[in-house]
Chains A and B, each alone.
Chain A
Amino acid sequence: MEKLIDLGKYIEYGINKLEENFSGLWGAIDDLISWTVDSMNDVFLAIPFYIIIVFIALGAYYANAGKSAFKKEGLKKGGGMAVFVILGLLLIFAMGYWKESIQTTTLVLVASVIALIFGIPLGIVAARSKTADVIIRPILDLMQTMPAFVYLIPAIFFFSVGNTPGVIATVIFSLPPAVRLTSLGIKNVPSDVIEAGRAFGATEKQILFKIQLPLAKPTILAGINQVILLALSMVVIASMVGAKGLGSIVYQSIQQNDIAKGFESGVGIVILAIILDRITQSIAKK
């Protein structure tokens, strides 16, 4: 069928113009992200694996046990999780995917932090201005429903193959829950509390920082948890544009039809997901 509108061509034209005119900016972003990811990888890989395992196990224990960390009931609450962390990470190490797991975790952390740096302020803006909400909402829908492969192509175009397009694609995919849940949390703050703040002469800034954000904190933390899990679910797709880590092993095993390798790397991703989820969730519960 003949095309009546050549939408794709306009977008391609726009992206070409963007690439040409801001190539310096894209280069700078690429350098910054690659440098961050690489140096984090170097640091983590320089530390012996058992120290990292102990550290994460203690972190998981403390996050779950909370105030009772040094009491008997703390063991009940956080003990199971600590044991799971130790066994799970030992398994990953024993399977020979330690380096890849570190690379994946770094990618997820960097992408999540970027998503939160943009997502939380956007959520605040969306909660406080109806106009902003009307503009932001369809963009979020687009980011979540547009197949990731579609924006991988321009990502490579801007940043060439490597970790950076992987991080950018992951940020795009995992950003919406940060915006949505921040906005939801702020909108759900009871109006009578805000009115009380106003009546005592609070400025808009004081209302935001002393009332809305503290009360929205549990919802915002749930959003952070979602961001991290969505980022992790993107690692396989990110590996297609050259991001390193467990995802690239999965990708290789698909191409090589290697059932064993596929399962091993898949189990590794699941273990990382459970650890990241439980730790962030128990922080959010407090």
Chain B
Amino acid sequence: MNLRRDVFQAIADPTRRAILLLVASQAMTAGAIASNFDTARPTVSKHLAILTECELLSQEQNGREIYYHFNAKKMKEVADFIEPFRQMWDDRFNKIETIMKKFKSK
């Protein structure tokens, strides 16, 4: 439960979402990620720490550099949590729409 809470907190922040988008296309070093933002480097580092902590990013040592990778599997867990609930409501609303359209055509 706590883990999931952390994941949601992680993606609630717009900068962190932007970081995820960046890293999703290719693994990057902290410096390369930070160069995409006006935000101070320590702030970006903090965001990276949070994203790593909740497993949305993973670190990989490559020589002297540490690269951040995007964990698509974890991201999918987040989307999967709400999606069935949303789908259920969508089905119900579709049903209402279908029923009421009969009245509309009358």
Tell me if chain B binds chain A. no
